[in-house]
Structure 1
Amino acid sequence: MNTHSPHIRPVIRQLDDGVANRIAAGEVVERPASAVKELVENALDAGARRVDVTIAQGGKALIRVADDGCGMTAEDLPLALSRHATSKIDGSDLLAISSFGFRGEALPSLGAVGRLTITSRAGEDGAEIRVTGGHADPVRPAAANRGTVVELRDLFFATPARLKFLRSERAETQAIADVIRRLAMAEPSVAFSLSDEDRVIFRADAEQGDLFDALHARLTRVMGREFIDNAIRIDAERDGVRLTGFAALPTYSRGAAVAQHVFVNTRPVRDKLLTGALRAGYFDVLPSGRHPAAVLFVDCDPQFVDVNVHPAKAEVRFRDPSLVRGMVVSTLRHSLAGESRRASDTVSAATLAAFQTGGQAEAPRRYQMEYRPNTPSRAAIQTAYQAQAPGFEGFSETPSARFEAVSESDFGTDAPLGAARAQIHENYIVAQTGDGMILVDQHAAHERLVYERLKTLADENGITSQSLLIPEIVELPEEDAARVLSVAEDLAALGLHVEPFGGGAVAVREIPALLGKLDAAALIRDIADDLADQGASDRLKARVDAVLSSMACHGSVRSGRRMTADEMNALLREMERTPRSGQCNHGRPTWVKLSLNDIERLFGRKD
């Protein structure tokens, strides 16, 4: 509501520096973690090789950032507290920005809303300046090591209303720790520490070695050994843009996007273009509701990217966004395809844990369970004794396991997925390898194989169709029928010919020959559901892949199908040749492996 009188002209006034700095602080310093981010970035821009951060009460009472960078002279200190004063850019070229900070707003903004003290030494003598609520004291000499110490006390004391919007001390401390971990990933050659008044929250020494060795060591410390053990190395370059980092296998996924970290020229960003490209790279290897884990670095000429489009510099804008997005998507897909036979180690760990707990434990959704490499549990031993008791009472006359005689000369155990030895419950193939065993879900595995075959045919020459002797009429809700008929031309290119049949009915006249006999009505309904999941997206590739995935599911070997030894081994060999065969179309693992050492631990043969 406009409270000004229409007859009185508002007066334009020049804001004083204190008010201007407090307004700037509202953009730059949202919470203690924002202040820590600005100060640590300043330290890194100063060439620091070690950054130590100390906080109290979640950063509300104290934030102290000490570095061993180039430092400042006594003459530099008052200028550093002036708005729009910076040593990091040439004012004539705002597109050649290679530093973290460049606006020159952080220090005066912090001085406007808290009690700020800066102690620094660049040469022989140290100096100190204090700012309280925007009012600076004169510079005075001070004892100091080379580098800079910035101490911020009583954050927002000058704007107490802001304190009401802060979260709990624990939540603010966690936010600060997240900032330090992200910056530690960006600069693996720099040592970091974060402490509160009585404990160390995070510590990472400077990593040695080349780019990937240092990053591997730092991510082990920050993301955890489990992430790095289940990640693949990413390294690609196109038209002056380089993509590096580590991306986790699809079977190592998370329930939220909390393990996705993207950096542009070492700057941590939360950019929609890049996170969208990351999701697209995992498009058909993750189940719904799961999110990939990755740490990716995009490096390019500073002229190629504008980092000055967001007040907190959290977003960027590329000169050629399609180039960057396409590179991220294609690199991830190619890298994941190259690791097609590898599954997350946590899947095997969950399998072992299920054995060791007598089948009572249930693996969580990310397939990670407590691993105890000891003797079998009491329940497991009791079950084994009962199974070996004389008479085999209760043994079913309809066996759930079928053992096949397999010729070693035809199918050796030296193959990556080994030689098929049995089929259990008419859905799982047991294969023997040189150093253990493989358990394969035949339906999930064949579903992926058919899917990849369909994609290849669709990309190359199109999919051959076969006519139905009698067209199958499928009744659908009118909105679903409209969705299916709206992509009729796309479906025809995939070997599936549909026509309207009045109302919500759809007539299926031809089906893909590759799929053989199938339930056309069920396929059409699934395709309608997939198209609904795509929403209003007009991306042809996404629609086609969704349809092909449904076709593959209906055209694959079903659970309950008995397979001969030759069929089982043929399936294993094709899995070894097919990209992304470690996961089905929905992102679930198609096989798990148990090493011989792990099997022997289950029976107490090894400690």
Structure 2
Amino acid sequence: MSRRSTRRSDAAAATTAAAINHLSAQTSATLRSSLVIPTLAQILSELAQNSLDAGAKRIDVWINVAPGDESLRVQDDGVGMSREQLGRIGERYVTSKGSATSVLGDTYGFRGEALASIGALCLLEVTSRAAKADTFARVIKNGNIIYTGKARDTVTSQHGTTVSVRDVFAAVPVRQAALGSGALTACRKVLETLALAWPAVAWSLWEERPSGARKVLGLRPAKNSLGMFKAVYGSAGVEKVQSVRVSSGQWRVDGFISLEGAVTKAHQHLYVNGFPLDTASELHLAIARRFASSAFATTAGDWDERPQTNRASPRRPERYPIYVLNVTVPPEGVDATYDPKKRQHGYRDAGRLTAFVVTVADEFLQRAGFGRREAPSERTPTKGSPLVPAKRRAEEGSERIATRLFSSRAAPDTASPEPVDDTNDPFGRRWIRDIVTQPAPNVFPVGRGQRGIPPADDGDAGPDDNPLEDDDNPTLLTTALRGPLSDVTFSHDSLADAVVLGQVDRKFICCVLRAETPTHEPTAALVILDQHAADERAAVEGIMDELCAGFAGDTMAVTDVELRVVLTREEAAVLESTAARRILRRWGIGLGEVMSGEYVQVDVTCVPALLERLARKDTAELTRLLKLYLPELGERGAEIDAVVAGLDGDARARVQALMPREMVELANSKACRGAIMFEDKLDAEQSARLVARLADTRTPWVCAHGRPTFVPACAWPSDKKNYKRPIDWAKWKHNVL
């Protein structure tokens, strides 16, 4: 038998032999008190709630978290206590709020245990003054009354109470050792949470140090919860909100919901009769489900895109609601005794309460224009193009693109094309469609790309003739028409020599390009160029070049801003490195003061002038950029520093590899928004200029989002001999003269 088993057997035998007795008063008081006030933050929560119940309009807190010297002091300007009331402090189950309704959730204090528990585990001193009375004090240590009488120090205000707690958890050494450095952050969170429910109260938190007190939090009274929210977390995400004031008999909801949302779930605050609820509560989850089923998650903050569409740009992150809602219900309908921390409650009619809160959320979503979320389509405009961009390859010093075009030899089972109705002809002319559907002799038509349709077996096709199975070469423009395949390639230089025929339907530009067959025979091909995609490609390369040049030369043009973003502690820790700040500054992002707390706030002083969307007040793109790039800086900081130190000459490619992903997406978006659009009319000169701009780009085959810039319509092989007799111009001139 193991030693552990032996010890257990001995303990069991001793327990059986011993009599069953009551625990000592000190032991039972310690156990009970440890449940009521498990942490320093919970002690502060109980004291601050007592101050609110006393009608305080100002609450000041001083805290010392130095190991072995932990202490807490809370001062308020509430109604105060007389000597007789103070004489009952420290007794368990003694309270001034012991009515039947208060036990169910009318006031914060109702158990009569907080001060007794603090006095049982700490050194407690309560100094209080009622209106037009003297100041009295009571001192309790480890459950024993040390002093009751006139206070040495007078309360400066006309009435109020000061509670000092020292030797925190001295009677429980393990609990005292576990206080840790996170106690200050937890205490700040307690005050911030209460402040949102009590915006008319002034709050302050000071950290006491040997060098002097440091102000950690200072909140002035605000008109409403929105004003207090901005004072606590800043204005990011709450520039546009909808105030909530809904009542139904004795039921009421007050607060606000932001129309912009955030990329995290950090700022969701829900209260019932002033009691803050855990984010995992059923009411929080019910609200989350309503917002998740709406278009809010994908369109919040996209004011330019609503109400025309409920689909946001695919690069936008999910958006979560920001809200502060205080639900008021009859006190007899709430039971706040489920949890010692009073953050979990029981309800007489939980179904009605949930329906009431969900109705408020539904009303907000309806008024703000957030319909139900659209089901994702199988193919999006960005990623669902039927043509796959071709992989460029260098051949004889010239960049080329390969595309497979179908032969005019149709498969035996190819059906005849159905008659085309000209009524809704999107081109306005049938000749382009006729080229594709009814090819003339010796013309190679190209069809729409579609995976899963193999070419016809005519005996000549080999295993490499099926582009649909060529996953190693994503550059093929896959097709769906049946028939044997024929390769045609376009060189980069062919765009410079393009013959521009003109614009079609104010959307496309028809061109004739030089091409080659696999045997290097010259061929001419008619291509349909997408005017928007072509201009977008030309624009994005200019934007990217300017950004890379600004980074390489540390000359990025910037726009001064006054913004504030919220980061996690891990993300903010990366900013402690000067190298990380230096790299961000090269990208045009200047960072200022970092304000610590549970949610670290960082001031942003400037952003790159070229990407104006980073200067928006909602900070959505800026926050996403930092959240995605800071972990990369933390992991690859030394590598990026080495690349920066070795920059010389044409470093565009190396610099672009270091660019934050969000900056790339913003550059693509900027190029897309500013490019020539469908329905923009172009004359012959403008069309030719656009094709020339595309020819000057490094990657002319695809737009900024990966869509092809043109579609080959057909090709004419140049295998016929020219039987015309050449003209002797000299002889012709002589005969004419």
TM-score, scaled to structure 1? 0.55
Separation in 2, partners of 1:359, 1:54 = 43
Q: What does residue range 418-437 of structure 1 map to in structure 2 within 5 Å?
A: none
Task: Encode CA deviations 1:303-325: one digit per residue, 9 max, x unaligned.
Answer: 11111111111111221112221
Tell me the equivalent position of 2:21.
13
CA 1:121–1:280: 2 relative to 1, 3 Å: same
C-alpha deviation, 1:20, in angstroms: 2.6
Q: Secondary structure at the match of 1:23?
A: helix
C-alpha deviation, 1:58, in angstroms: 6.5
C-alpha deviation, 1:106, in angstroms: 0.9
Separation in 2, partners of 1:360, 1:72 = 56
Q: What does residue range 189-588 of structure 1 map to in structure 2 within 5 Å?
A: 189-197=200-208, 198-207=213-222, 213-238=223-248, 240-249=250-259, 251-255=260-264, 257-270=265-278, 272-284=281-293, 285-286=296-297, 291-340=320-369, 356-357=609-610, 366-368=620-622, 401-402=676-677, 404=679
CA 1:7–1:135: 2 relative to 1, 3 Å: closer
Letter in 1 for 2:173: P
Tell me the equivalent position of 1:38.
46
Separation in 1, partners of 2:354, 2:613 = 45
C-alpha deviation, 1:267, in angstroms: 1.7
Task: Encode CA deviations 1:576-599: one digit per residue, 9 max, x unaligned.
Answer: xxxxxxxxxxxxxxxxxxxxxxxx
Separation in 2, partners of 1:54, 1:217 = 24
C-alpha deviation, 1:159, in angstroms: 1.0
Separation in 1, partners of 2:119, 2:203 = 24
Give the counterpart of 1:124 among 125, 128, 133.
133
Structure 1 spans left out of the alignment, 5+ residues: 208-212, 372-382, 384-395, 407-424, 426-557, 563-607
Q: Secondary structure at the match of 2:337?
A: coil
Letter in 2 for 1:174: T
Q: Secondary structure at the match of 1:138?
A: strand
C-alpha deviation, 1:405, in angstroms: 5.8
Residue 178 in 1 paired to residue 201 in 2? no
Residue 151 in 1 paired to residue 405 in 2? no
Contact 2:61 2:72 in 1 (8 A): yes
Tell me the equivalent position of 2:83.
74
Task: Encode CA deviations 1:528-561: one digit per residue, 9 max, x unaligned.
Answer: xxxxxxxxxxxxxxxxxxxxxxxxxxxxxx9899
Task: Encode CA deviations 1:443-499: one digit per residue, 9 max, x unaligned.
Answer: xxxxxxxxxxxxxxxxxxxxxxxxxxxxxxxxxxxxxxxxxxxxxxxxxxxxxxxxx
Tell me the equivalent position of 1:456.
none
CA 1:358–1:231: 2 relative to 1, 3 Å: closer
Separation in 2, partners of 1:32, 1:101 = 18
Letter in 2 for 1:158: A
Letter in 1 for 2:143: G
Separation in 2, partners of 1:327, 1:73 = 42
Give the counterpart of 2:109 among 94, 101, 115.
101
Q: Secondary structure at the match of 1:235?
A: strand
Letter in 2 for 1:320: D
Contact 1:252 1:293 in 2 (8 A): yes
C-alpha deviation, 1:166, in angstroms: 2.5
Q: Secondary structure at the match of 1:334?
A: helix
Q: Secondary structure at the match of 1:282?
A: helix
CA 1:560–1:233: 2 relative to 1, 3 Å: farther
Contact 1:346 1:367 in 2 (8 A): no
CA 1:233–1:10: 2 relative to 1, 3 Å: farther
C-alpha deviation, 1:56, in angstroms: 1.0
C-alpha deviation, 1:172, in angstroms: 1.2
C-alpha deviation, 1:275, in angstroms: 1.1
Residue 48 in 1 paired to residue 56 in 2? yes
Q: Secondary structure at the match of 1:48?
A: coil
C-alpha deviation, 1:236, in angstroms: 2.1
C-alpha deviation, 1:369, in angstroms: 5.1
Separation in 1, partners of 2:233, 2:196 = 9
Task: Encode CA deviations 1:315-364: one digit per residue, 9 max, x unaligned.
Answer: 1122111222122223213212322289xx999xx9xx987245998999
CA 1:125–1:16: 2 relative to 1, 3 Å: farther
Tell me the equivalent position of 1:187.
198
Letter in 2 for 1:185: L
Contact 2:290 2:361 in 1 (8 A): yes
CA 1:228–1:121: 2 relative to 1, 3 Å: same
Task: Encode CA deviations 1:119-144: one digit per residue, 9 max, x unaligned.
Answer: 11225222111112222113121142
Separation in 2, partners of 1:93, 1:223 = 35
Q: Secondary structure at the match of 1:226?
A: coil
Tell me the equivalent position of 2:73.
64
Give the counterpart of 2:119 among 111, 135, 148.
111
Separation in 2, partners of 1:233, 1:34 = 31
Tell me the equivalent position of 2:552.
none
Which deviates further from its counterpart, 113-122 or 7-16? 7-16
Letter in 2 for 1:72: M
Tell me the equivalent position of 1:4.
12
Separation in 2, partners of 1:95, 1:62 = 30
Separation in 2, partners of 1:79, 1:559 = 78
Letter in 2 for 1:144: T
CA 1:245–1:130: 2 relative to 1, 3 Å: same
Counting aligned pairs with the same residue, the percent is 27
Separation in 1, partners of 2:160, 2:564 = 44
Structure 2 spans left out of the alignment, 5+ residues: 1-7, 299-316, 372-562, 566-588, 590-605, 626-651, 653-670, 682-689, 691-705, 711-737
Q: Secondary structure at the match of 1:189?
A: coil
Give the counterpart of 2:34 among 13, 23, 26.
26
CA 1:307–1:45: 2 relative to 1, 3 Å: same
C-alpha deviation, 1:194, in angstroms: 0.8
Letter in 2 for 1:100: Y
CA 1:561–1:237: 2 relative to 1, 3 Å: farther
Which deviates further from its counterpart, 81-90 or 282-291? 282-291
CA 1:361–1:219: 2 relative to 1, 3 Å: closer
Q: Secondary structure at the match of 1:152?
A: strand
Contact 2:245 2:253 in 1 (8 A): yes
TM-score, scaled to structure 2? 0.46
C-alpha deviation, 1:83, in angstroms: 0.5
C-alpha deviation, 1:114, in angstroms: 1.3
Contact 2:614 2:622 in 1 (8 A): no
Tell me the equivalent position of 2:456.
none
CA 1:72–1:329: 2 relative to 1, 3 Å: same
Contact 1:89 1:97 in 2 (8 A): no
CA 1:147–1:266: 2 relative to 1, 3 Å: same
Task: Encode CA deviations 1:189-233: one digit per residue, 9 max, x unaligned.
Answer: 2111111122111112233xxxxx432322221232224314322
Contact 2:121 2:171 in 1 (8 A): yes
C-alpha deviation, 1:246, in angstroms: 1.4
Contact 1:84 1:105 in 2 (8 A): yes
